[in-house]
Amino acid sequence: MGTARSKPKTISPSQPEEAKPVVDAGSVARENESLKAARAQLENANAELKHILEQTKEENKRRLQEVENHKCKIASLTVEINQLKSGEDDTWEAGGAPYLRHLKASPGDKRVSAPKDAAFTMSRHNINKRVSAALSSSLASSSTSGASSFGGTKSNNDTYNRGPSRIAKQLNLHLRGKKSKQSVAFSSLDSNTNMGQPGGGPQSVYHLPRGGVYVHTKAGPVQFGIPPETVKDSMNLGLEVPTLFVVPRERFNMQAGINVSEIEFPAFFNFFVRKRQMTLITYQDCSEDLLTIMKEALDGPDEDQLYINEEYSRFASEDVLAARPDHVKEMAVFCEPRPGTPAIKVSNLVKFAYFNALGECRLDNDVVIKDESFGFTVLQEDTLLAAISDDEASSCFFPGMDPTTAVPRQPASLGVLGADDDPENSVVSSPSATLETPISNFSIPRFGMTILGNSHGFDALGSTSGFVIWINGQGIMVDPPPHSGEFLKMNGIQPKLITATILTHCHADHDAGTIQKVITEDKVTLMTTKTIFQSLLRKYSGVAGLGSDFLRQLVNFRPVFVEEPTYWGGASFRFFYSLHAIPCVGFEVTFEGKSMVYSADTFYEPKGLEEMHERGVLSRARCDALLNFPWHSDLVLHEAGVPPIHTPISAFDSLPPEHRANIQLIHIGNKDQANAIAAGLKVSQPGLENTAVLIPNTDTQDTLRFMQLIAGVDIFRGFPIPQALELLLMSTNVDYQPGQIIAEKGTPGDKFMVIMSGEASVSFGKTKKVFKVGDYLGEISVITGEDRTATIVAETACTIVEVDKYAFHYFLMKDKKLYAKMECLVRSRMDGSWHAIARNSLLRRLSAAQKTSLQAFLHRRQFKRGDEVWRKGSTGHGAVLILSGDFVFEEVHNADPFELLTATRHPHQKRAHMAQESESLSFDPLTTGCFVCDLFAMSANAELTVTLKCDSDEGVLFYITQENVLGFLDANPMTLLTLLKTIVIL
């Protein structure tokens, strides 16, 4: 232990210290003062240094902002220069690719639901589900009874239904759109000037041919957006297929009808081919939807989602019932682990990297993906590497076209769309964006088949499998590849000729184009089993954020019974379940003594099937049914994909020559085609010129074609058979050659015409409109008795159904509804509705038939300044299309901008920032071409939250009743999907 220290003595102030040395009091005081002075100087120096540091920081921040502003200005000027060179309007062009002014980062968006807009925690997908739930009820009522009836209830707490502030947000978004275009332009400049190696090298940023953006980073390649077949782009460009994918804000491009978050095949490719896991970059609350998509594709439906017992009718024999598949066992056998591969389950294929509360996702090697108001930015070591707009992330292009000029260019987010003075600017095209294939004089066979694609999802050079079956002059698309409708249109085959689709199963290389087809233009019938259809609804509910009940309303679903006849167009289909990783149907079709069969995706190999029977996966009856494939058919379309879930080429070796002679292989990659041909097998070839004709076209089809044509023309839809036959007997079919005048301007209007085949054009000065199959002409002069106002010319060889004016008037007098519709149509056309439609960014994209159908519902109304179109608090309103004058939302256009911003932003946001933003906030009046339709209020039968009134001396608009709006949207699903995004379309 150490010596204890003695405690210091306590000195009393009244007692002097003993033996204290003499100290100069003045000297101590001076030292204390010096210390105080030194301390004060030090504090002042510290304060001055801190002030200098703060000034330096602010100055650096200001200079950085100036640099960014200058970059944006330079980018914007560059874009304007490019636009002046190309003659494009700035509404439609930015960064070398067409863009629309649209909803950029709605406060309701899921990706922006972090603190930067926390007041709007409901995601856009959840909003869509609420709106679609109400719409599914109202549309169902509209389509069945024609009456106005609404489902759903009004919610006072609904974030979406916030009255003027909600509309103000949408009207204000065009300002964000302008900022977004600058960012897009900067992204385009940056991708061209940022040279070096990956992470900053030549072509660090790739705009992929099918859509989406590929960015080289030190964390590996990162892809923004995932359109169908996107892995083929990487392979064809010699790029590494990414494992990092950023899920776009709009997972479903509603205008294109395409899934741009197609995560299946990137996951399959990375797992089965590259033996690695894919990472999805998104917000955590999106993961459930994405997992649903993967589960349906990989695991298939749950046991309680298999409706096998409902898919066999009461007429099914004991033998047929004994051969029913056990889906649970069959799906399980295909999920068994393979040599060198982990267990086949979703968690081994896909993992997630989430954006944090600040909208940042941090990757390896100091790479950060940031969620911005206009889209995304990529930073590497705190340096901006790329900026990707929402349009770019959700883009999808027609294959084979230059992404910067492709037609159709499909922006994904549709909010307040910007109109422009040139109606033709709604879709930007250029000579480089046209296919070399000319419009063909293809003669549709009485019974035959045209291949649209013959490969699979892993083949870089081929298109995914799909085809058209031709029956009696009309087509049924089977698993249509994406954009296949565009291919047919470019070859002179109009959408109206495709009256049904068949979906075999819910893998992305089969269903990606199916949804696009069934919602494009008119509704078509979708044929498949209940099990497969319900799986499709669950999958695309996750993709699009729309309720299953609403999606169900977009198609005419026709459930098929398995192993019994399903009749369509005069042919008989027999559907059967194939053997695949998820439920999948093939079919046999017979017509007038000829037959064809399609295997669909299936595993067929006799030895392998017997082994599955021995293991108890297949019953004896099921195994025999698979072995007894109808090889005797006149045309056998059989798949030959990648085993073990597909059929190996060697499986056909044991077939007799007479059966092998009828086989055409499909779902086969380019590398395997040579082996198949060497084995003496034929490979199906895409293209109209390779159409397989089982029964050629004959003149006896004319009557049937006429009946089909009448059934597809909107004004005759619903005609009873006797009335349609009467019209047939009063009409004449006339053939015209290309360039031949069908009707001349200034001549009496003596006939009503419907195009049965080919195309015809009508010229109004410098404007030429092309009319196609199912479009009708001449109705105005026939009804009014006036001379024709335009010349009609055959663009191609065409057949016109002509009805003279006396017969046409007879039908008008006989059918009062038809008369009223035609009277309204003629009046709206003469009152300038074409001009209003042409100025609207959505409506001008409609086909001639769709525009005509819409015009039949338009009622012209005139207003003076201060007149109300509708008042806040009213219900039962319709929609309006503005022809002339200015109209405003009273509660929005006359409100204080700062108050509107504070009503739409989170209370914790900086008021100074909002005050600065409100200075630039202004709302232009709604004018020519604006279409106003609040589907949310309409479908929920909610009270209107704003008053719409005229704000000019005179104003003219076209009014559409609520009943007619819902009826039109029910028949035109793509337009309905577009209107889900907005209240006002410019």
Instruction: Give kind and range of the element (H or E) at residue 985.
Output: strand 984-985
Give strand pairing partners of 575: 562, 587
Residues 486 and 622 in one domain: yes
CATH number for the domain including 664? 3.60.15.10
The enclosing H or E element of 884 equals strand 879-884
Identify the domain containing residue 212 by its residue range. Answer: 170-417
For 483-530, give the DSSP string.
Answer: THHHHHHHTT--GGGEEEEE----SHHHHHHHHHHHHSSS--EEEE-H
Per-residue pLDDT at 862 exceeds 90: yes
Tokens found for residue 812: 């008008």
- 299: in domain: yes
- What is the token pair recorded at 311? 């898919």
Neighbour tally for 807: CB within 10 Å = 18
Q: Please, what is the Cα angle at 727 between 724 and 732, to 5 degrees? A: 130
Contact 788, 745 (CB under 8 A): yes
* 391 and 293 co-located in one domain: yes
pLDDT band at 114 (very low <50, low <70, confident <90, very high): very low
Q: Residue 287 has what pLDDT?
A: 92
Rounded CA-CA distance 706/754 in Å is 10
Give 225 or 418, the one with higher predicted confidence. 225
> Is residue 623 one of the residues assigned to a domain?
yes
Structure tokens given for 410: 């499909």
pLDDT, the chain, mean:
77
**Residue located via tokens 């200015």:** 886
* 413, pLDDT greater than 50: no
367 and 498 part of one domain: no
How many Å is the Cα radius of gyration of the chain? 34
Give Cα separations from 639 to 464, 482, 643, 648, 785 (angstroms).
12, 19, 11, 9, 59
How far is Cα of residue 889 from the mean position of the Cα atoms in its chain?
30
Predicted confidence band at 936 (pLDDT cuts at 50, 70, 90)? confident
Q: Express each pLDDT in 702-757 by its tens digit.
A: 666 777 777 777 777 667 767 777 888 888 889 999 999 999 888 988 898 998 88
The pLDDT value given to residue 70: 59
- Check whether residue 287 and residue 407 sit in a common domain: yes
Which sign does the torsion angle of CA 374, 376, 378, 382 carry? positive
User: Which one-letter amino acid corresponds to residue 16?
Assistant: P
Most confident listed range (162-171, 288-297, 458-467, 850-859):
288-297
Taking CA atoms, 196 is separated from 71, 241, 244, in Å, by: 20, 20, 21
Interacting residues of 432 by C-beta distance below 8 A, sequence separation 6+:
401, 402, 405
Q: Which residues contact 347 (CB under 8 A, 6 or more apart)?
A: none
d(CA 986, CA 91): 11
| Candidate from 281-295, 611-625, 843-857 with smallest mean pLDDT | 843-857
DSSP string, 33-79: HHHHHHHHHHHHHHHHHHHHHHHHHHHHHHHHHHHHHHHHHHHHHHH
Residue 850 lies in a domain: no
Phi-psi region of 560 (alpha: psi -120 to 50; beta: other; left: phi over 0): beta
Q: For the chain, what percentages of helix, strand and coil (3-state, to nearest 5) are there? A: 40, 20, 40
* Residues forming a β-bridge with 626: none
- Sequence-distant (6+) residues with CB within 8 A of 54 are none
Based on the fold, state whether residues 390 and 468 are members of the same structural domain.
no
Domain presence at residue 75: no
> What pLDDT is recorded for position 915?
44
What is the Cα–Cα distance from 633 to 589, expressed in whole angstroms? 9
Same domain, 451 and 500: yes
Contact residues for 536 (Cβ-Cβ < 8 A; gap 6+): 503, 506, 511, 514, 515, 528
> Chain centroid to CA 29: how far?
84
Distance from C-alpha of 934 to C-alpha of 173, rounded to nearest angstrom: 17
Residue 369 in this model has a pLDDT that exceeds 80: yes
Token digits of residue 982: 């907005």
Distance CA 517, CA 775 (A): 20
Q: Does residue 116 lie within any of the structural domains?
A: no
> Is 612's pLDDT higher than 90?
yes
Task: Decide if 197 contacts 207 (C-beta within 8 A).
Answer: no
Residue 793, helix vs strand vs coil = strand
pLDDT digits (tens, 9 = 90+) for 511-567: 988 888 887 767 789 999 999 999 999 999 999 888 888 888 888 999 999 999 999
Q: How many helices (H) and strands (E) does the chain have?
A: 31, 44
CA separation for the pair 511, 743 (Å, rounded): 44
Where is pLDDT greater, at 773 or 915?
773
455 secondary structure, DSSP code: B
- What are the phi and psi torsion angles at 238 (to 5°)? 75, 25
At residue 186, what is the residue type?
F
DSSP 190: H
The pair of structure tokens assigned to 681 is 């097998």
Three-class SS state of 557? strand
- Report the half-sphere exposure of 819 (CA within 13 A, side-chain side): 8
150 inside domain? no
Using CA atoms, how far apart are residues 462 and 672, in angstroms rounded to an integer? Answer: 12
What local confidence, expressed as pLDDT, does residue 254 receive?
Answer: 78
727/608 same-domain check: no
What is the pairing mode between strands 498-502 and 731-736? unpaired
Cβ distance 492 to 442 under 8 Å?
Answer: yes
Q: What pLDDT does residue 412 have?
A: 29
Give the residue from 814, 836, 868 where a domain finishes. Answer: 814
How far does CA 940 lie from the centroid of its chain? 24
Same domain? 570 vs 635: yes
Rounded Cα gap, residues 233 and 262, in angstroms? 14
Is the dihedral angle over the CA atoms 203, 209, 213, 218 positive or is it negative? Answer: negative
- The CA distance from 963 to 976, in Å, is 14
* pLDDT recorded at residue 135: 55
670 and 617: one domain? yes
Q: What is the C-alpha separation between 36 and 243, in angstroms, rounded?
A: 65
Q: Which one of 767, 784, 814 terminates a domain?
A: 814
CB 201 within 8 A of CB 215: no
Asked if 422 and 88 touch (Cβ cutoff 8 Å), the reply is no
For the stretch 868-918, pLDDT in tens is: 998 888 887 889 999 999 998 887 766 555 454 444 444 434 444 444 444
- Written as one letter, the residue type at 596 is M
Q: Is the pLDDT of residue 970 over 70?
A: yes
Examine residue 110 and state whether it is found in any structural domain, yes or no. no
Question: What dihedral do alpha carbons 337, 341, 342, 346 form, nearest 10°?
Answer: -80
> Can you tell me the distance from the alpha carbon of 504 to that of 499, in angstroms, rounded to the nearest whole number?
17
* Cβ contacts of 617 within 8 Å, gap of 6 or more: 326, 329, 330, 333
Contact call for residues 355 and 114 (beta carbons, < 8 A) = yes
Boundary residue ending a domain (399, 417, 435)? 417
- pLDDT at res. 967: 87
Residue 15 has pLDDT above 80, yes or no: no
Give the domain CATH number at 800. 2.60.120.10
| pLDDT given for residue 710 in this prediction | 72
pLDDT band at 110 (very low <50, low <70, confident <90, very high): very low
pTM of the model: 0.72
Distances (CA, A) of 480 to 363, 508, 533: 38, 11, 16
Determine the length of the chain: 986
Domains in the chain, number:
3
Q: So what's the pLDDT on residue 130?
A: 52
Task: List pLDDT tens digits, range 75-105.
Answer: 555 544 554 444 433 332 222 222 222 222 3
Q: Per-residue pLDDT for 106 more than 60?
A: no
Are residue 409 and residue 457 in the same domain, yes or no?
Answer: no
Average pLDDT over residues 496-514: 91
Residues 501 and 392 grouped into a single domain = no
How far from chain centre, in Å, is Cα 869? 33
Q: Residue 771, SS3?
A: strand
Selection from 388-397, 436-445, 716-725 with the highest mean pLDDT: 388-397
Residue 164 tokens read as 């003027």
pLDDT, tens digit (0-9, with 9 covering 90-100), for 127-165: 455 555 555 555 555 544 333 222 233 333 343 344 555
Q: 721 and 758, same structural domain?
A: yes
**H-state helical runs in 570-701:** 606-614, 620-627, 657-660, 670-678
- The SS3 of residue 131 is helix
For 804, counting Cβ atoms within 10 Å of its Cβ (0-12 exposed, 13-18 middle, 19+ buried), the class is: middle
- Looking at residue 137, its amino acid is S
Is residue 406 one of the residues assigned to a domain?
yes
Say which residue, 31 or 657, is predicted with more confidence: 657
